[in-house]
C-alpha cells in the first residue's frame, strides 16, 4: 500500500469548495427515478442522463471533486464514443466506483440487512482500477426501530466488519475507500435516538477499521447527519442538527481521517445544503467536511431533464446551481436567499 498516494487522492476528494457526486444508482434505483419522470430506463437513456451531468461544464469543473459510478456506467461511452470516465477526468474530477453488491437479510435478525460483496472483491478492484477508478464506495444500512429495539449489535457488528474488510482490500489495491455506514432517517424516532445509534455505529466501524489495519489517512468517511426520523413529530432546527451531528462526529471520528463527505439520505435539497452549511459555520473542524450527495444533487436536474434532449442545457444549469450551493455550504457561506434569487 502506498499511503502517500492514497492520502493524496483522499485529500483531493475533499478539496476545499468541492464535493462528490453520487451517480451510482443501481439498475433498480435509477429505474425508480426514471419511472417517476415517465422515462424508460434503457442503457441509452441512462447513458444520456449521466452524460448530461458529466458534461455540465460549470458544475463539474468548479464544484465536483469526484463522481461515484455504477458498474454499467464506468464501462459506457458518451454518444460521441468518448468513455464517460474520460469526460469526468477532463472536468478535473476523479472517477470512483460503487463496489458493494447491495443488502441481503441478515440471518436470525428479522428486519435487518447486511451489505454483501466481499467475495471476488479484490479481482473487481483490479478491473475497476484499470478502467480508471481512483476510489470506491461501500454502503452499509442500519435501520432504527424498524421493530422496537433495533438495530441489534449483530447487525451493527456484521456491517462494520464488512465495511472494514472492504476498506482494507481497497487500500491494498491502491484505491481509496469511501466508508459509508448509513443510519436511515426512515421512521418516527427523534434526533436523540439517531444520535445514540449513529454513535454506536461509528464507534464500531472505527474499531473494525483498526482491527483490519485500515490507514485512516487513506479513506473518506460518508456518514448520515444526525436528524430526526422523517415521521418524527419532533422536527428540529438547522442549528440543532449541526450541533448534534458535530458532537457525534467529534466523539467518534479520529482527526487522522482527511475528510467527511455526507450522504443526503432523503433530506430535501435545501435541507441538505442548509445542514452542511451550518456544520461548516461551526469551524474550525478537525477534518474537511463536504457532500457526497445523490438525491440532493440530482432531484432538480433530473426533473428538468425529464428524458428530453431539448432540456439538457436547463438541466445542466439546475445541476450546476445545486453543486454551487453545496460548494458554498462547504465553506459555511451559503444563504437561503441565494436559492430564491436563482429561482
Ligand atoms: P443520497 O445522497 O441520495 O443519500 O445518496 C448518497 C449515496 O451514495 C447513497 O449510497
Maximum C-alpha span of the chain: 53
Task: Kindly state if the Cβ of 263 falls inside 6 Å of ligand 1.
Answer: yes
Task: Kindly state if the Cβ of 294 falls inside 6 Å of ligand 1.
Answer: yes
**Which has the closest alpha carbon to 30: 44, 11, 19, 18?**
44
pLDDT of 228-264, one tens digit each?
A: 999 999 999 999 999 999 999 999 999 999 999 999 9
d(CA 168, CA 215): 8
Distances (CA, A) of 291 to 53, 80, 114, 122, 251: 17, 31, 24, 27, 20
Helix boundaries (H) for 178-268: 191-211, 238-252
Q: Residues 28-54: what's their mean pLDDT? A: 98
128 Cβ contact list (under 8 Å, min separation 6): 74, 97, 99, 136, 175
Report yes or no: 114 and 163 within 8 Å, Cβ to Cβ.
no
In the residue annotation, 222 being an active-site residue is answered as yes
What is the DSSP annotation of 285-339?
-SSEEEEEESHHHHHHHHHHHTT-GGGHHHHHHHHHHHHHHHHHHHTT---HHHH
pLDDT of 153-168, one tens digit each?
A: 999 999 999 999 999 9
- Cα 263 to ligand 1 centroid, rounded to whole Å: 5
- Cα 19 to ligand 1 centroid, rounded to whole Å: 13
If pLDDT is split at 50, 70 and 90, which confidence band does 78 have? very high
Give the active site residue among 134, 137, 222, 244. 222
From the CA of 296, give the closest atom in ligand 1: 2
Task: Kindly state if the Cβ of 164 falls inside 6 Å of ligand 1.
Answer: no
Pick the residue whose CA is nearest to atom 10 on ligand 1.
139
Task: Kindly state if the Cβ of 66 falls inside 6 Å of ligand 1.
Answer: no
Report yes or no: 146 and 88 within 8 Å, Cβ to Cβ.
no
> Which 3 state secondary structure label does DSSP give 127?
helix
Pick the residue whose CA is nearest to atom 5 on ligand 1.
294
64 Cβ contact list (under 8 Å, min separation 6): 18, 19, 20, 21, 91, 93, 323
Looking at residue 342, what is its pLDDT? 64
pLDDT of 307-323, one tens digit each?
A: 999 999 999 999 999 99
Cell digits of residue 103: 443488502
DSSP state of 260: E
From the CA of 298, give the closest atom in ligand 1: 3
From the CA of 262, give the closest atom in ligand 1: 2
Task: Kindly state if the Cβ of 141 falls inside 6 Å of ligand 1.
Answer: no
In the residue annotation, 203 being an active-site residue is answered as no
Task: Kindly state if the Cβ of 223 falls inside 6 Å of ligand 1.
Answer: no
Cell digits of residue 93: 474530477
Quote the mean pLDDT of the chain.
97
pLDDT of 258-301, one tens digit each?
A: 999 999 999 999 999 999 999 999 999 999 999 999 999 999 99
Distances (CA, A) of 97 to 45, 81, 122, 285, 334: 20, 21, 14, 28, 29
**Which has the closest alpha carbon to 178: 269, 270, 95?**
95
pLDDT of 93-133, one tens digit each?
A: 999 999 999 999 999 999 999 999 999 999 999 999 999 99
Task: Kindly state if the Cβ of 296 falls inside 6 Å of ligand 1.
Answer: yes
d(CA 73, CA 187): 33
Task: Kindly state if the Cβ of 139 falls inside 6 Å of ligand 1.
Answer: yes
From the CA of 293, give the closest atom in ligand 1: 2
- Cα 180 to ligand 1 centroid, rounded to whole Å: 9
Residue whose CB lies within 8 A of the most ligand 1 atoms, among 30, 266, 294, for a mutation test:
294
Looking at residue 154, what is its pLDDT? 98
Percent share of the chain, pLDDT over 90: 97
Percent share of the chain, pLDDT over 70: 99
**For residue 343, pLDDT beyond 60:** no
- Cα 295 to ligand 1 centroid, rounded to whole Å: 6
Task: Kindly state if the Cβ of 218 falls inside 6 Å of ligand 1.
Answer: no
Amino acid at each position: 500500500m502506498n499511503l502517500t498516494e492514497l492520502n493524496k487522492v483522499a485529500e483531493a476528494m475533499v478539496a476545499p469548495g468541492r464535493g462528490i457526486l453520487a451517480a451510482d444508482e443501481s439498475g433498480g434505483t435509477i429505474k425508480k427515478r426514471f419511472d417517476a419522470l415517465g422515462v424508460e430506463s434503457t442503457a441509452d437513456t441512462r447513458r444520456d442522463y449521466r452524460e448530461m451531468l458529466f458534461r455540465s461544464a460549470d458544475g463539474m469543473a468548479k464544484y465536483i471533486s469526484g463522481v461515484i459510478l455504477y458498474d454499467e456506467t464506468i464501462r459506457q461511452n458518451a454518444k460521441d464514443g468518448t468513455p464517460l470516465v474520460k469526460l469526468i477526468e477532463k472536468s478535473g474530477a476523479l472517477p470512483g466506483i460503487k463496489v458493494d453488491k447491495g443488502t441481503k437479510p441478515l440471518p436470525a435478525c428479522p428486519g435487518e440487512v447486511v451489505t454483501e460483496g466481499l467475495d471476488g472483491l479484490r479481482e473487481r478492484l483490479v478491473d475497476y482500477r484499470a478502467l480508471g477508478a481512483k476510489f470506491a464506495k461501500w454502503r452499509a444500512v442500519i435501520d432504527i426501530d424498524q421493530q422496537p429495539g433495533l438495530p441489534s449489535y449483530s447487525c451493527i457488528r456484521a456491517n462494520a466488519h464488512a465495511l472494514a474488510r472492504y476498506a482494507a482490500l481497497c487500500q491494498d489495491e491502491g484505491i481509496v475507500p469511501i466508508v459509508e455506514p448509513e443510519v436511515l432517517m426512515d421512521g418516527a424516532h427523534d434526533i436523540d435516538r439517531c444520535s445514540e445509534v449513529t454513535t454506536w455505529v461509528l464507534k464500531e466501524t472505527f474499531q473494525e477499521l483498526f482491527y483490519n489495519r485500515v490507514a485512516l489517512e487513506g479513506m473518506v468517511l460518508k456518514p448520515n447527519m444526525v436528524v430526526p426520523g422523517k415521521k418524527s413529530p419532533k422536527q428540529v432546527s438547522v442549528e440543532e442538527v449541526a450541533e448534534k451531528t458535530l458532537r457525534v462526529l467529534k466523539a467518534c471520528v479520529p482527526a487522522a481521517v482527511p475528510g467527511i463527505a455526507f450522504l443526503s439520505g432523503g433530506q430535501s435539497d435545501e435541507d441538505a445544503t442548509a445542514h452542511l452549511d451550518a456544520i461548516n459555520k461551526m469551524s474550525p473542524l478537525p477534518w474537511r467536511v463536504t457532500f457526497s450527495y445523490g438525491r440532493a444533487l440530482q432531484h432538480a436536474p433530473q426533473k428538468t431533464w425529464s428524458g428530453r434532449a431539448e432540456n439538457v442545457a436547463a438541466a445542466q444549469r439546475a445541476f450546476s446551481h445545486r453543486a454551487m450551493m453545496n460548494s458554498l455550504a462547504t465553506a459555511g457561506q451559503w444563504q437561503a436567499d441565494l436559492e430564491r434569487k436563482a429561482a
